[in-house]
Each structure stands twice: as C-alpha cells, then as structure tokens.
Chain A
Amino acid sequence: EIVLTQSPGTLSLSPGERATLSCRASQSVSSSYLAWYQQKPGQPPRLLIYGASTRATGIPDRFSGSGSGTDFTLTITRLEPEDFGVYYCHLYGSSPLFTFGPGTKVDIK
C-alpha cells in the first residue's frame, strides 16, 4: 500500500507570498497519476494539477506542480485571498486504487 504524506499541515501566509506544499509517497510512483486539488469549506474539491505538472482547465498560472518519484510539490506564487483552503495530493494506481493525502491547510493572514 502506498501512503501519501503532506507537509506542512498548516501554512499561514500573507497575500502576495509564495506557498510551497509538499506531497511525499511511501514508494516511487508514476508522475502521470499524481494530482492536486483545492477544497474550500462547504465546497467539493477542485482539480488544480494533473500528471504532476499540468494545470487543469481554468486554473491560473500562479499554480504550478512539479516532482517525480516520491517527492512532489505544489507551488502557489503570489498568493491571492481566494487561495485559502485545503490542498490535497492524490494518486491513482496503488492499493487502494486511489489515494488522497491528508491535506495541507493554507490560511491567508
């Protein structure tokens, strides 16, 4: 079973700052199947990044993804107030078939 670990648990930043979120897999995984989602309170998740680095439709270019093997990163350059929420990494192809990380909460100061 592959486990995804996200760090930090919470990130408190001011608008305009850069946010760097980490997702680590317990063993090497295919970057093709690594995705990132944003979830705001009371809303469903929204796909941000798929294939580790490809932005989903309509996602601003301040969001970017990178990484390979066991270490993946979501970067938000120039945080906007609407970027608060919880960010989850997600993997297809392990056991279980789909796995979510525990999430990183981004608080806007």
Chain B
Amino acid sequence: EVQLVESGGDVVQPGGSLRLSCAASGFSFSTYSMTWVRQAPGKELEWISYIRGRSTDISYADSVKGRFTISRDNAKNSLYLQMNSLRVDDMAVYYCARVGLGYYSMDVWGQGTTVTVSS
C-alpha cells in the first residue's frame, strides 16, 4: 500500500524551530518528487516547498523562503521540513504529498501533522 505518514508536529513558541518528517512506503521513493503543503485552520491549501527525487531541484514559497529547509533521505524513504523562526501565521496542518510523474499533480497525501505556534 502506498502511504505517507507525517510526524513532528508540536506546540512551539514564536521564533522557535521544529522539524517535520514524512515516512514513505509502498513505492520507489527516490523516483518521485515530493512536496509540503500546509493548511491554516479554516483556510485554503498553501504549497510551501518542493524537492525533486535526487534533491537536484528545490523550491520554496516566498512565505517560508529563508526560514524553512526541505530535504530527503532516499535510503530511509523519508522527507523532512526544518522550520526555523516560526511565526504565528505558520500555524497549520502540514501535509507531505507525492508529486505524480509527468503531470505534477499531488497524487498521494499523508494525513497531516499539526504545528501550533503560540506563546
């Protein structure tokens, strides 16, 4: 079964850091590009970061550029998001998603992990 499982969400103070993980199974992880998408409470989906299969291409939304770092370990079938200088407006459910081959749609999603930023 193709599956993505996020972890690492927590309550953190403004200015703090957090590292999210996404464990992949059931497919050839290194073949696929991966993304992180977040959703603030009651809000729409927001794409925040993308990484190609061999980490040769990385991209960020302007809202997180310079604060967040995406990475992956293909040997461990894992995707990561290092989040620094967290702000109240970073509070959201964070999803990892697989990017489908050829069409760049997000064809597999995890259940999400919740990041709360509060003092």
Contact = CB atoms under 8 A, between A and B. Distances in A.
A43 B35 CA distance: 17
Contact of B105 (A43, A50, A101): A50
Contacts of B100: 47, 50
Interface string B95-119: 1010010011111011110000000
Say what secondary structure dominates the interface of chain B.
strand
B115 to A, nearest CB: 15
Given A96-B62, A98-B35, A45 B104 contact: no
A25 to B, nearest CB: 15
Nearest to B35: A98
A17 to B, nearest CB: 25
B59 interface: yes
Nearest to B45: A100
Q: Give the interface residue-count category, chain B.
A: 20 to 34
A99 B104 contact: no
Given A47-B106, A51-B103, A102 B112 contact: no
A103 to B, nearest CB: 5
B12 to A, nearest CB: 22
29 contacts: A32-B103, A35-B105, A37-B106, A44-B95, A44-B109, A44-B110, A44-B112, A45-B37, A45-B106, A47-B100, A47-B105, A47-B106, A50-B103, A51-B103, A51-B105, A54-B103, A56-B105, A90-B45, A92-B103, A96-B62, A98-B37, A98-B50, A98-B104, A100-B37, A100-B44, A100-B45, A100-B46, A100-B47, A103-B44
